[in-house]
Structure formats: C-alpha cells, structure tokens
C-alpha cells in the first residue's frame, strides 16, 4: 500500500511541475500543443536515478536501519511506474494523435496514390480522344470505368478520414502545396518565354518559397509521427 501511495505522490508532484512550468511556457510562447504536456507528465518513468540514490542510502550510518525498507519502496515504485506508465504510454500517444498507426498511414497514402494515378489517366484519356481517331464509344467506355474507379477511391478516402480526421488538415495542406508548385512552374515558364524580368521572377519565386516554408515548418522534436512497429 505504501508503494502505491508513494507512486501516486510522485505522479501528483510531476503533474504539478509539468503543468505549472509547461503551462506557463505555452502561455508565453505557444510553441507546442497542450497534448505534449500530457506525454511529458505520463512519460516520466522512475528508474535509474531513484535506484542509484536508494542504493546509496545503505552507506549512510544514520539511515542504515531504515535503508532496506526505503530501498524496497523505491524498487516497488520503479516497478509500478514501468508496469503502468510504460505499458500505457503508447496508447496515450495514439489517443492524443501524436502518433498515428502505421497501417492507417499506409491506407491513406495508398488511396491517395491511386487517386493521383486515376486523375492522370482521365486527363490523358481526354487528350487521346482529342488527338486520335479512336472510336468515341471505346473512349467513353474507358472514361466510365475510370470514373467508377475514381468514385470508389474517393469513398475509401472518405472512410479513412472518418476513422482518422486528423488527416483532413494534411489533405488540405497537400492541395495547397501542389497549387504553389504549379504557380512556381507557371512563373518560370513565363520567364523563359520572356514575359517576366529577372527581378520579377526572383520576387515572385521568393513569395512562393515563403509560402512553401510556411507549409513545411522546421521539424520540432516530438511532432506528429507514426507508430513504429518492430
């Protein structure tokens, strides 16, 4: 019972320090999400340092009588911490959406890749219909098949978004990035055609690059990642 009480006390003390100091830091800088504080708090496993200190107690004469009991309590708290906090930290990371299950990421990227491939095929089919003597009925049949496939892929993407709504923001960001890349290509084409001067090209490229940097900020340790599987 004493081991459990000491463990609860350490959890409470760490919570006080984490949320007081971390909350103040967030209020000043707001440089990381609040969910990180939960991980910092719960991820504070007790281990090497407490055990080392407990072993050193036995060498102190004035604590020699109580040293065995204190060492047993420390060992119990360490084991309890590892057992409870260590085994629940990974589910906490997933629940807070700090990491995503790898399989969800695979599904999302696979459906996105298929969507891009089908959209490209539909565009190419339109070009083929305009520039060749292919039977229009066959072109229409191929187009219908591609449209059906695209609808199926979009249904799959919507299902993934329902299961993992955090992907929605990422989807919007991907669209914005593609649009910015298209803008950059268009500006460079205009420069090669003599429509823009060097100065205008550099100015617009700088503006687009700045927008791209905003979409791709410098990585922050502990940012959104994926669940690692052995």
**Domain identity same for 151 and 187:** no
* Residue at which a domain ends, from 66, 99, 132: 99
Residue 129 inside a domain? The answer is yes
Of 6 and 100, the one with more pLDDT = 6
**Domain identity same for 57 and 116:** no
What is the Cα–Cα distance from 220 to 173, expressed in whole angstroms?
Answer: 18
* Residue at which a domain ends, from 73, 99, 125: 99
**Domain identity same for 52 and 69:** yes
Percent of the chain with pLDDT over 70: 85
Residue 224 inside a domain? The answer is no
- pLDDT tens for 147-156 read 999 999 999 8
* Residue at which a domain ends, from 99, 115, 133: 99
- pLDDT tens for 165-174 read 767 777 777 7
pLDDT number for residue 22: 86
How far is Cα of residue 84 from the mean position of the Cα atoms in its chain?
25
What is the Cα–Cα distance from 118 to 122, expressed in whole angstroms?
Answer: 6
- Written as six digits, the tokens of 72 are 């047993």
What is the tally of structural domains in the chain?
3
What is the Cα–Cα distance from 161 to 177, expressed in whole angstroms?
Answer: 20
Residue 225 inside a domain? The answer is no
Question: Which residues constitute the domain of residue 119?
Answer: 101-164
- pLDDT tens for 192-225 read 998 989 898 889 888 888 887 776 544 333 334 4
Helical (H) or strand (E) element with 147: helix 136-163
pLDDT number for residue 92: 85
**Domain identity same for 141 and 195:** no
The dihedral region occupied by 222, where left means phi > 0, alpha psi between -120 and 50, and beta the remainder, is left
Mean pLDDT of 127-156: 83
- Check whether 20 has a pLDDT greater than 70: yes
What is the Cα–Cα distance from 91 to 216, expressed in whole angstroms?
Answer: 27
Ranges assigned E (strand) in the chain = 99-100, 225-226
**Domain identity same for 120 and 194:** no
- Check whether 83 has a pLDDT greater than 70: yes
**Domain identity same for 137 and 193:** no
pTM, rounded to two decimals: 0.44
**Domain identity same for 159 and 178:** no
Residue 65 inside a domain? The answer is yes
pLDDT number for residue 138: 82
**Domain identity same for 179 and 122:** no
The residues facing 100 across adjacent strands are 226
Residue 94 inside a domain? The answer is yes
């Amino acid at each position: 019972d004493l081991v459990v009480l000491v463990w609860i006390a350490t959890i409470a003390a760490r919570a006080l320090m984490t949320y007081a100091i971390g909350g103040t830091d967030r209020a000043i800088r707001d440089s990381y999400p609040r969910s990180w504080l939960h991980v910092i708090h719960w991820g504070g496993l007790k281990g090497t340092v407490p055990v080392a200190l407990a072993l050193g107690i036995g060498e102190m004469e004035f604590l020699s009588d109580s040293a065995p009991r204190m060492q047993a309590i420390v060992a119990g708290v360490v084991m309890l911490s590892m057992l409870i906090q260590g085994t629940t930290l990974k589910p906490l990371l997933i629940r807070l959406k700090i990491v995503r299950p790898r399989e969800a990421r695979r599904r999302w990227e696979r459906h996105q890749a298929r969507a891009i491939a089908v959209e490209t095929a539909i565009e190419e089919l339109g070009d083929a219909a305009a520039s060749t003597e292919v039977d229009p009925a066959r072109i229409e049949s191929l187009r219908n098949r591609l449209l059906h496939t695209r609808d199926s892929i979009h249904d799959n993407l919507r299902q993934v978004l329902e299961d993992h709504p955090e992907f929605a923001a990422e989807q919007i960001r991907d669209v914005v990035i593609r649009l910015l890349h298209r803008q950059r290509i268009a500006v460079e084409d205009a420069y090669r055609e003599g429509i823009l001067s060097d100065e205008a090209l550099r100015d617009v490229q700088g503006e687009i690059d700045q927008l791209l940097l905003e979409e791709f900020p410098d990585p922050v340790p502990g940012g959104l990642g994926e669940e690692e599987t052995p």
